């Protein structure tokens, strides 16, 4: 508990996001991963049991983890290392299967997701309490008069609701249960929804622009006369559409924050904060829609250089297959030793400007465990696409389903 | 069109949010209001027809509107004035019924809502084009190999999806169609949803705190020993819970903008922007949940001083009923003359420190049109609650429905 | 230390802003206040010594403070209470003079200022290290060629700097030491400076608008035909200029954050983040300047209702003088008992709708210590303006000095 | 003028940032550039005169510019094209020297700088008016009593200022002219200053991280055991420090916006907005200082691979020298034809996977104008460092001057 936690936080939530819980939730992932991999017979059931039994936050040294994370760049790396050490003390074989086939981000993001799920449960239940309290107040003070032009339609006497209904009909707008003059959640939700869309478009534009770099050259925006040239550098072809989409993704979050921040409007009429919406919201919609339009145009005419992609796969001298080889070696040597061997081989490949495959083919530790044919296969990109085809099927199926809707 | 519109905006959206459209959509509201009021026989059908026929943007002087808005504080006031003048030239009687019973915000917000509806239609349709282009690319490049740890589960070979399924089962988490490592819309949506909630809580806290001011004194947070005292001013009782809820509503939008802005992560692993989430998201959830908890507590124990509310209604010497009297006079004198009479009477009430009712009761322009009994009724708050009771019924019904859900 | 502190924070800074330091720096304020008040003979030297000797963080219960702060609304209130208790145990008399004449905000803000001073020292010294490292790299790699249009003026061969100098002369712009194409600190500083100005204007507008409320009525914006009227409520006079200034103060911070966030531009040419400036910066300047202009206009013609101000002073039935009476009683009874007496008397004044002065005049605990004449004086606002006249002199002197500059 | 300009903007500022002024200020740059280049005898005086005389906004087609900018990616490219056409009609020779040696960003940023200079003049003068109005109000209402604990030190009677002076002495803090309880510009300026610093660090980290990419490999963070490894990919060395600096640069702007947005505090005590500072400001300082520390550490131990840098210069097959060749050809052929020749040669170099120098050496249009030796020189990076050495001297001189200060 920090000095200001009881003032700004809330105990059940603070506990969900405590350091100990952050660690525990990542360990929950490691334990579940081991159990899942045992259930599909990928790793021995004994190993999963042993791993699972060590996934307890109290066995870990939080301070050491914190310090190691500063070097490693994230918490998962030292956590996996500590866990592996703990498991190894009890069961050397099991230690090989810790974090099997997973990345740091798998552990970190799944841990976060588990924390968020718990937190959203607590939030939902407290929201019920709030609604109950509000309902009770509404019942009790139904007839209490209060100053303020609160949208009661009082100026229309007993015809207010009739007018409202017919007006909604005339304008083809839904009629809300209650007036919402200075309560702007409807407005703000439009802003956040478009901000989410713009963020997604920005992610796409970021990746496209990275693959359009001169040094990478895998993708190009659709060519057109006068498009993307440089006033001074004749050889350049700029990712113009990506730049404007990224500009939108840079600007929209701040505009959304203005709309969100302006929700605390006073009584029945916001002073300044209502006015803050008048130009901000149209600007936000303009940027989001402009980004969307340019993304649709760009992706419809995207030029994909598959030859260059294949070349780029080779440019790292096989280093990108290091993970695959490491995984293949792990059942023989354990995960960490395999990782270390590949780390050193990778460094040699860089230093000696050789292909990683050649380095490995000359190493008896490797060749005694992996055949030459097997090694070749590990360096074939076609054998390392994982589940991508299934993923494409799934997302296309979802897309087709949504298309067929009226 | 501005110089940068074709670069950042998009024509169909720019047109929806042009100055002319902004005006037109407010005029659409005025026309629909008149028609609706005629349909429920509140104003003459002829008047509605005449008003409706003048609700055309090209009849208005945009520059004059713009300049007048700077004094009026919003566009609706000079728009209503110009519309009334236009209608009056053609049909003096009809001019009385322009903007009948409506506020500036009704016109501005409904206009905005109509613009947003149009814009969201355009956005939805363009989103379909984008999805179609993406689906086509996915089909075409299903087998194109590309560098990058993109979550294909390749390290698990053909067991990737099996592990994923069982892991999701172990953790009781839904399994997404595709991996989303560096595509953070799921994460960002948690942030924006909680930001919307916090904004709503902030709105409630804003109103509560305004009604808790020493000068207003209508509400108090639940009393508790040591709660809300001042270290130096013995008479003060501070709205402690409201202050912390408002602090959350001040901070959460910026935190949400960080999450949104961090969505443009690079390839399969964001550099810095992923890391930016690690402390921001928990802080956002903590503040939102803390605000929610304090709001639930405060509203469950809210002290309501109905006597003070009634007194405060009287404190303005009847000025808050000026609108009601103006509405009652309008059928006799026309809307604008009625408004002007009440404006002057209000100024006299303030200057002479008299009750507005007394000022009006001494004015033959009033008494020749409104009886003394009628005038008394107009100054009775119980007769000026409008549709608030029906609104309460509707929102309670919705609440009960949601409660009964499992 | 939290799990992520070594990754994102820095030990010397983390220590400066630790919970213990937050408390200690507030205690440093309390100790210095006591010493200062002793040095000007306002409180006994012994008391100051005793207070000072208890201002040690390790004597305090952080958990108890944290919990009490949630009720009190800030940390200073329970800190003063714990300190008073600690001092009282050792020296009952000294305990009377704890936090003498100070507010919670005095302790909190001064504590923060001391923390910031320490932090800025550390930052300045580390900045020197960074600059030294950069200077060394610049020396060493002076001749290392690198791809990129980095503003070296290479296309002008050896005439680059000559052209730059004459161009700066032609445009009457200063010539920077180095090109800054994608390094936007100059641009961003314009944005933050105008954001600070807009924030200051927003603070002024906030206060003006609060004093313009119907219930307060102390100030009005300059009157003009058509200014600030309501389309439906004849009695209202809206703070139009304040609303637009506050709207600017709502919007400008988010725009400034976009400019700041866009500083991380890639190499010699930002992708998207440069483009994000093109509309954001002009909009920011427009809003800041618009707010400034309206503030200047409003304050030049501000209507001040001094009669209403005097009336408002009376509206709380003397409660605003409770602090003055409490201070006057403290030397006789001690600070906390005096505070408690006034707290109760204030509650009675509210409950019985009596003037606080009358309540106190009937209380022998008071009258045995403060004469009737003295009590009357305490309730005279003219005797409670503190140093405001001196403050006005000082700030006017500063203003005149700045005016006389060329 | 837009519909909302008179409400939110201000005419003199709106004019400075109008579309016509945006164009004019870029044209002012082009005119001044031509004049400057003529003054140093880089281009003919006649040409400068002719160019200068066409730099008038009214000669340009704004709509055509706007549309062309959407393809070009910025306004400067089509502006330079239109200007060249205009000049060519009057003086074909002069047209060669339009935009001589300049980039799009030169025109855009200098134009913006000229707009900002004008705007800041207007702002400064209006600020004087505001201060004069405030000074007059302070004089006039010096003695007007007003409710509120405004930091007048009233509770200390006539000793307030004495205590304040000695307290400042005790704490070694400067004594401000006036109290600033709820006026937070001092606090906010700390936030914006550190945000500017963090943005600068983020810019450095962005460039470092781009040069650390596997595909680029020019720089590495200082090596250390366990530093920057990947939990699954043995070959990766992650830019850990850069990631955390970039995370700070992602987060700090939003935190600064919270502080700026919270400046509109109510009267003498902000409700919620003061509280919003308590955790936000320490977090901002922590992130800024953490980023600074890691930047100092990283740059002090930065590994620079100059061999790789030289290799990367070659990787584009000479395309990065296209600008140099284009500049060398321009006096012979005019700027635009030279640019077009290089554009085509660059496309051929890419398509045919040849070195640009070889393409050019085989083109008689080139060889008839540029000798083989000259061409070789143009492709030597050592001949294309421009003024970088002078720039390094200047900035090091500034650095040394600042170091020698006490």
A89, A98 Cβ separation under 8 angstroms: no
Interface of C with B in 248-267 (CB under 8 A): 254, 257, 261
- Report yes or no: C368 at the B interface, CB cutoff 8 Å: no
Give the pLDDT confidence of A230-272 residue by residue, as tens digits. Answer: 655 566 668 999 999 999 999 999 999 999 999 999 988 889 9
Is residue B96 part of the annotated active site? The answer reads no
User: At residue B174, does pLDDT exceed 60?
Assistant: yes
Residues of chain D with Cβ-Cβ distance to C395 below 8 Å are: 138, 177-178
Between B29 and C158, residue with greater pLDDT: B29
| Per-residue H/E/C for D161-209 | HHHHHHHHHHHCCCCCCCCCCCCCHHHHHHHHHHHHHHHHHHHHHHHHH
pLDDT top residue among B234 and C131: C131
The verdict on a CB contact (< 8 Å) between C254 and A249 is no
Which residues does chain B have within 8 Å of residue D213's beta carbon, measured at their own beta carbons? none
Is residue B406 pLDDT above 60, yes or no?
no
Which is more confidently placed, C52 or C226? C52
According to DSSP, residue D222 is labeled P
Chains that touch C (3 or more CB pairs under 8 A): A, B, D
φ, ψ of residue D256 to 5 degrees: the values are: -65, -35
Position B226 scores a pLDDT of: 59
Query: Which C residues 3-22 touch D at CB under 8 Å?
Result: 7-10, 12-14, 17
Confidence of residue D143 (pLDDT cuts 50, 70, 90): confident
Tokens of B31: 């026309």
Q: Judge whether C251 and D260 are in contact, CB under 8 Å.
A: no
Dihedral, CA atoms, C165, C170, C171, C172, nearest 10 degrees?
80
3-state SS string for C169-224: HHHCCCCCCCCCCCCCHHHHHHHHHHHHHHHHHHHHHHHHHHHHCCCCCCEECCCC
Give pLDDT tens digits for D263-298: 999 988 889 999 999 999 999 999 999 999 999 999
What residues of A are in contact with residue C250 (Cβ under 8 Å)?
A: 258, 261-262, 272-273, 276
pTM for this entry: 0.94
B330-339, D46-55, D328-337 — which one is most confidently predicted on average? D46-55
- Digit-coded pLDDT (tens) for D291-303: 999 999 999 999 9
The CA-based dihedral angle spanning residues B213, B215, B219, B224, taken in that order and rounded to the nearest 10 degrees: 60
How is residue A304 annotated by DSSP?
A: E
Q: Is A220 helix (H, G, I), strand (E, B) or coil?
A: strand
Q: Return residues 120-179 of B near A (CB < 8 Å).
A: 120, 122-123, 126-135, 137-150, 152-157, 159-164, 166-167, 169-171, 173, 177-179
Among chain C residues, CA nearest to D316: C147
D-proximal residues of B, 188-247, CB under 8 Å: 202, 205, 209, 232-233, 239, 242-247
Calpha distance B358→B348 (Å, rounded): 11
Block residue for tokens 């709105």: B203
Pair C45, C93: CB distance under 8 Å: no
- Kindly name the residue from A117, A269, A286, A394 that is annotated as catalytic: A269
Q: What is the pLDDT of residue D234?
A: 61
Q: In this structure, what token pair is assigned to residue D351?
A: 């398509």
Total number of residues shown for chain B: 406
Inter-chain CB proximity B279 and C4 less than 8 Å: yes
The residue annotated as part of the active site, out of D159, D269, D286, D310, is: D269
Query: CA of B26: how far to CAs of A151, D17, D305, in Å?
Result: 18, 28, 64
Give per-residue pLDDT as tens, D57-90.
Answer: 999 999 999 999 999 999 999 999 999 999 999 9
- Nearest of A217, D279, C223 to residue B284 by alpha carbon: D279
pLDDT over 90 at C321, yes or no: no
Chain C residues with CB inside 8 Å of B76's CB? 231
Give D170-198 pLDDT, tens digit per residue: 999 999 888 888 899 999 999 999 999 99
CB distance B206–A181 less than 8 Å? no
3-state SS, D80-122, equals: HHHHHHHHHHHCHHHHCCCCCCCCHHHHHHHHHHHHHHHHHHH
Label residue A151 left, alpha or beta by phi (over 0 means left) and psi (-120 to 50 means alpha). Answer: left
Burial of C140: CB neighbours in 10 Å, binned 0-12, 13-18, 19+: exposed
**Is it the case that residue C359 has pLDDT exceeding 70?**
yes
Helix (H) / strand (E) element for B220: namely strand B219-220
Contact B275, D243 (CB under 8 A): yes
| Percent of residues, chain A, with pLDDT higher than 90 | 68
> What are A359-397's pLDDT values in tens digits?
999 999 999 999 999 999 998 887 777 788 888 899 899
Specify the pLDDT at position C51: 98
Q: Note the pLDDT of residue A311.
A: 84
Segments in chain A below pLDDT 70: 149-150, 224-237, 406
DSSP, collapsed to helix, strand or coil, labels residue C348 as: helix
Contacts of A149 in chain B (CB under 8 A): 103, 323
Nearest-CA distance D383 → chain B (Å): 35
Helix (H) or strand (E) holding D358: helix D356-361
By the 8 A CB rule, do A395 and A356 touch?
no
d(CA D217, CA A338): 25
- In this predicted structure, what is the pLDDT of residue C172? 95
Residue C325 has pLDDT above 60, yes or no: yes
Residues near B287 by beta carbon (within 8 Å), at least 6 away in sequence: A8, A9, B198, B247, B248, B251, B252, B255
Q: Is the pLDDT of residue D236 over 70?
A: no
The ipTM is 0.92
Inform me whether the C-beta atom of residue C364 falls under 8 Å from chain B C-beta atoms: no
Residue D121 pLDDT class (50, 70, 90 cuts): very high
């Amino acid at each position: 508990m920090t000095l200001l936690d009881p003032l700004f936080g809330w105990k059940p939530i603070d506990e969900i996001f405590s350091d100990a819980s952050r660690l525990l939730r990542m360990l929950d992932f490691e334990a579940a991963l081991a159990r899942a991999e045992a259930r599909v017979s990928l790793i021995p059931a004994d190993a999963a049991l042993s791993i699972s039994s060590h996934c307890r936050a109290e066995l870990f040294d939080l301070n050491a983890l914190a310090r190691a994370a500063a070097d490693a760049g994230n918490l998962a790396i030292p956590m996996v290392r500590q866990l592996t050490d703990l498991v190894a003390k009890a069961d050397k074989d099991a230690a090989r299967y810790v974090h099997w086939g997973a990345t740091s981000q798998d552990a970190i993001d799944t841990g976060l997701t588990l924390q968020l799920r718990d937190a959203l449960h607590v939030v939902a239940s407290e929201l019920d309490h709030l609604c109950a309290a509000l309902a009770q107040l509404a019942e009790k003070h139904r007839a209490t008069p209060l100053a303020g032009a609160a949208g009661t339609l009082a100026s229309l006497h007993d015809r207010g609701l009739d007018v409202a209904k017919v007006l909604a009909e005339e304008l083809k707008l839904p009629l809300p249960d209650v007036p919402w003059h200075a309560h702007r959640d409807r407005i703000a939700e439009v802003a956040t929804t478009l901000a989410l869309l713009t963020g997604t478009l920005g992610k796409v534009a970021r990746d496209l622009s990275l693959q359009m770099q001169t040094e990478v050259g895998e993708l190009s925006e659709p060519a057109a006369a006068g498009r993307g040239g440089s006033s001074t550098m004749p050889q350049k072809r700029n990712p113009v559409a990506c730049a404007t989409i990224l500009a939108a993704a840079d600007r929209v979050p701040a505009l959304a924050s203005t709309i969100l921040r302006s929700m605390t409007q006073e009584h029945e009429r916001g002073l300044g904060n209502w006015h803050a919406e008048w130009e901000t919201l149209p600007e936000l919609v303009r940027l989001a829609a402009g980004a969307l339009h340019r993304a649709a145009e760009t992706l419809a005419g995207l030029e994909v250089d598959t030859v260059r992609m294949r070349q780029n796969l080779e440019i790292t001298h096989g280093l990108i297959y290091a993970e695959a080889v490491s995984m293949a070696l792990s059942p023989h040597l354990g995960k960490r030793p395999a990782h270390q061997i590949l780390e050193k081989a990778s460094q040699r490949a860089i230093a000696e400007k050789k292909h990683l495959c050649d380095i490995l083919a000359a190493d008896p530790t490797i060749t005694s465990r992996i055949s030459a044919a097997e090694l070749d296969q590990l360096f074939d990109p076609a054998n390392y696409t994982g589940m991508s085809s299934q993923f494409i099927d799934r997302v296309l199926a979802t897309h087709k389903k949504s298309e067929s809707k009226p």
